[in-house]
Structure formats: C-alpha cells, structure tokens
Structure 1
C-alpha cells in the first residue's frame, strides 16, 4: 500500500536514537522509552504513533482487539499493556498482516510472542521481552487513539516514534521541529570532532573545541 511522504519522519529516520535522545535531553523532553528493546538488533523503524491502551479483562472479558485493518500504512502501532510480562498482546497473525500492510513497526509496553515470524519477515517489534502466554481473557482493549505510556514516556497519537538497536524514542508532535533541528546540531558537532581526530587532533582538544560536553546539557528556560 502506498503512503504519503512525511518529511519529519524521514528526518527522524536518518538519526540514531542516541542522537535523538541527546536532543530530547537538551530540550528537557522525556521521550526515551525505558527498557523497550528490539527483538532483533537489526530492526529500525520510524513513523507516527497509532495508540492503543489495554487494561485487565472484565467479566465477561472483552477482546484484545481487531484493529489492525484500520491502522494507516507507515504508522507505528503503540500498545500500552501496562508493562505486563505475564500476558502477550501481539503475535504472528498481527505480525503477518502488519508486514503486508506496510506498517512501520510495533512498540509494546509489555511482551510479545511468536517472535520467530517477525525475525523471518524483518518486521520491527520492540517490547520489554517475549513470552508465549496469550493475553486473551487476561487483558482487553480500553481505548484507542489516546495518549499512552511506553516505558515511562508519554506517547500521543501522531507523535514520531523512532526505534533502532538501542531502543525507542518518542518525539512529541508539538516539539518535533525543535528536536530534529537540535539533533542536526548535535550530529554536526560530533562529526566535526571525528574529522578533527582523524586529522591528528587529540580527542580531549577536539571535544573542548566543539563543546562536546555541553551538547546534551539542558537549555535554560
């Protein structure tokens, strides 16, 4: 399926999460998703968040959701399962359909299962861990399209979500231009340091000259 170009998503995809994390720190924005890791270190993704919140199952229980056909191509599916590690909310059927529909990836505050298929297809899944037990009759969908929590970071619908081998960062929509511009500045300074060292300068001198130790320092309000 085709999707329209999104300049800021493309810009975010060009940065490693480490650089974006430094930019978030400099601006005082908490966007690092604690302990959310890729199921494979080769996974990379960038897209806008499509969010879903889970809660404990009622009696009778609700469903874990049949939402996948409504997610726009290029989105990152963001599932807040409250950090639960005893019940999964993502498996092989969802992986296959998401991959076929051109969804950018899935992020879970919790665990996934059927990991083998996401590895075979190269479909990016980021979660706290993986385990086989189903979430059916244990959790249920509470809401979609609302702000959720992923690894202590707030994720609102439409925020940019970027993932790589180091984890996942979230760039709030209202701050994305500032974050990406700051990431540009940080990356440019680090590249100048590398070039100076390759040219024979001592690392400590290069870091002083290009203010390395201040790159992530929070800006004054």
Structure 2
C-alpha cells in the first residue's frame, strides 16, 4: 500500500545517533526542509494527544483492514517493536473504532517505545496522558476495533495522512504534529533543516535588535527558505 508520497529509496545500513541530530529541530523546520527538497512529509490531520509531546524514532508499521468472517485480531505486534521505535498504525483514517488503548500504551511505555502514530483514533487517553506517552492521532473515541478491523500486515509500507511511511523512516512529532523523513534522505533533510533553523534564528535576532521584520526577513532570505530548488 502506498500513499500520495510514494518513495523507492532504501534505508541506509548504518545510520546512528539519530535522536541527537534531530533533538533541536521542530516539525515546522523539518517540514520546510522537506518542501525545499520536494519530499512529502507532513502527516495531515494528525494531532498530539496532550501538551508538551515530543517524539523521535524509526517507524514500525502496522496495516489494518476491515475484519473478515471469522474476524482476525487487532494484533500482538507490540512484542516485536524495538525500544526507541515509533509505532505507526494505518487504520485507513477510520474514526469509528480504535486500534490503540491503555494496555498497549502501558506496555509500550515500559518497553521504551518512543511513541505512537495512528491514522485513526485512540482510546483510554488517561493512560497516555498520565504516563506522558506521545500519541498522535485523528482524535479519540471509545469504541473498540476488535471484530471490526484486523491486522493485515506488519513491516510493510503504509499510508498515513496521505503520505507513505516505510519501516525505518524517521518520525518526528511535537506540538505542531508529525513529519516523516525518508530514511535514505535523512542526511539531506538534516542539512537543509539546520540551515533553515539558523537563518530563522538570525532573522529573529535581527528583528529583536531593531530591524523591521521586512528588513530582517530580506537580509536572511526568509521568504525563500522552503522554496524548492533554493540553495
């Protein structure tokens, strides 16, 4: 299954120290970098469950489909999720039944999972909020997904918010939402994002030092930062 942002580049074999390189970069800055590089990335319609959320990790993907007869299960995949990963659940954007609740939240938190992204809704939100466990979804709804949906596969490319997410891609979430960075494009995206971050900080410093906003933006090329093909 692919989304509107289909990609074919493979993940690199040796990509380490991911979180330190992303720690100070916002999803807004990363989104601008993805725009400049012509890559899809913003997972539209997904919002943080609670205030102060921050999440960085590699995607562990799970794909759902409507339950058959007899119905399959909503899955015991969490036992296979490595610590530091982000669980990415493609429930086709359904808001009538959940695929993430308190048991999964508690176990994921105990395992050191970085967070969960649901193209759909979650429930038992008190558990995630109480633990400070990051969840990004289309909302919350108490109705169970059991006997309504079933796991169709794990470790496959999935579509979330109209964007393809592959196993091993990087997910970054904050108060503005979630972006996905193709694993093979990480270094390119980081290079552009760091440049954008530094130029925005310089723009702000100039404006606070007395320049007009127009002057500060012109001095640092603010209006072209996200433009495709900009150097």
| Aligned equivalent of 2:149 | 139
| Aligned equivalent of 1:30 | 40
Gaps of 5+ in 1: none
Look up the SS of the partner of 2:41 in the other structure: coil
| Aligned equivalent of 2:102 | 92
1:45 aligns to 2:55 (yes or no)? yes
Look up the SS of the partner of 1:82 in the other structure: strand
The TM-score with structure 1 as length reference comes to: 0.95
Q: Distance in 1 between matches of 2:43 and 2:51?
A: 16
Question: How far did residue 141 of structure 1 move?
Answer: 0.4
The one of 159, 165, 175 aligned to 2:185:
175
Question: How far did residue 219 of structure 1 move?
Answer: 1.1
Q: Distance in 1 between matches of 2:116 and 2:28?
A: 19
Deviation readout 1:62-111 (Å, 9 max, x if unpaired) = 00000111100000000000000011000000000000000000000000
1:124 aligns to 2:134 (yes or no)? yes
Deviation readout 1:102-152 (Å, 9 max, x if unpaired) = 000000000000001100000001000000000000000000001101111
Look up the SS of the partner of 1:134 in the other structure: coil
| Aligned equivalent of 1:151 | 161
Gaps of 5+ in 2: 1-14
| Aligned equivalent of 2:3 | none
Is the contact between residue 40 and residue 119 of structure 1 (CA under 8 Å) also seen in structure 2? yes
Is the contact between residue 9 and residue 48 of structure 1 (CA under 8 Å) also seen in structure 2? no
Question: How far did residue 9 of structure 1 move?
Answer: 3.0
| Aligned equivalent of 2:219 | 209
Q: Distance in 1 between matches of 2:204 and 2:176?
A: 21
Aligned length: 216
| Aligned equivalent of 2:28 | 18
CA RMSD of aligned residues (A): 1.1
Look up the SS of the partner of 2:93 in the other structure: strand
Is the contact between residue 57 and residue 138 of structure 1 (CA under 8 Å) also seen in structure 2? yes
Q: Distance in 2 between matches of 1:206 and 1:165?
A: 26
Question: How far did residue 213 of structure 1 move?
Answer: 0.4
The TM-score with structure 2 as length reference comes to: 0.91
Q: Distance in 1 between matches of 2:146 and 2:18?
A: 37
The one of 86, 91, 99 aligned to 1:81:
91
Q: Higher mean Cα deviation, 104-113 or 191-200? A: 191-200
Is the contact between residue 91 and residue 115 of structure 1 (CA under 8 Å) also seen in structure 2? yes
